[in-house]
A and B are shown apart, each in its own frame.
Chain A
Amino acid sequence: MSVLIRIPTPLRPLTNGQNEVQETGGSVQEILDKLTVRYPGIGERLLDEKGDVRRFINIYVNEEDIRFRDGVQTALKEGDELSIIPAIAGGSR
Chain B
Amino acid sequence: MELTEEQVLRYSRHILLPEVGGVGQSRLLSSSVLVIGAGGLGSPVALYLAAAGVGHIGLVDMDQVDLSNLQRQVIHRTSDVGRMKVSSAKEKIALLNPDVRVTEYPFPLMADNASDIAVQYDVLVDGTDNFAAKFLINDLAILTDRPLVHAGILRFVGQVLTVLPGKSACYRCLFREPPPVGAVPTCSEAGVLGVIAGVIGTIQATEVLKILLNRGELLVDRLLTYDALPASFRNVKVRRNPRCPVCGDHPTITELHDYEQPVCTTPVIP
Contacts and interface: CB of A to CB of B under 8 A. Distances in A.
Contacts of B197: 91
A16 B89 CA distance: 41
Interface string A78-89: 000001011111
A65 B236 contact: yes
Q: Interface extent on B, as a size class?
A: 35 or more
A81 to B, nearest CB: 10
B157 interface: yes
A68 B238 CA distance: 10
In this complex, the interface size class of chain A, counting residues with CB under 8 Å from chain B, is 20 to 34
A92 B230 contact: no
A89 B184 contact: yes
A31 to B, nearest CB: 17
Interface string B153-184: 11111110000000000000011111100011
A9 B155 contact: yes
A55 B156 contact: no
A88 B153 contact: yes
Interface stretch (B20-28, B47-55, B116-124, B187-195): B187-195
B58 interface: no
Given A10-B184, A65-B238, A91 B128 contact: yes
B63 interface: yes
Interface string A1-27: 000000011110100000100000000
B131 to A, nearest CB: 5
B115 interface: no
Q: Is the interface of A mostly helix, strand, loop or mixed?
A: mixed
B154 A9 contact: yes
Interface string B205-231: 000000000000000000101010110
B69 interface: yes
- The CB with the most chain B CB atoms within 10 A, among A45, A57, A65, is that of A65
B152 A90 contact: yes
B186 interface: yes
Closest 9 pairs between A and B when the two form their complex, measured CB to CB: A90-B187, A92-B39, A92-B129, A56-B179, A92-B37, A88-B152, A88-B154, A91-B41, A55-B176
Given A8-B157, A64-B236, 17 more contacts: A10-B269, A10-B270, A54-B179, A63-B236, A83-B234, A87-B179, A88-B184, A89-B152, A89-B154, A90-B154, A90-B188, A90-B190, A91-B151, A92-B41, A93-B39, A93-B69, A93-B263
25 contacts: A8-B157, A9-B156, A10-B155, A10-B270, A19-B227, A19-B229, A55-B175, A56-B131, A56-B178, A60-B237, A65-B236, A65-B237, A85-B236, A87-B178, A88-B158, A88-B159, A89-B154, A89-B186, A89-B187, A91-B41, A91-B127, A91-B152, A91-B153, A92-B127, A93-B69
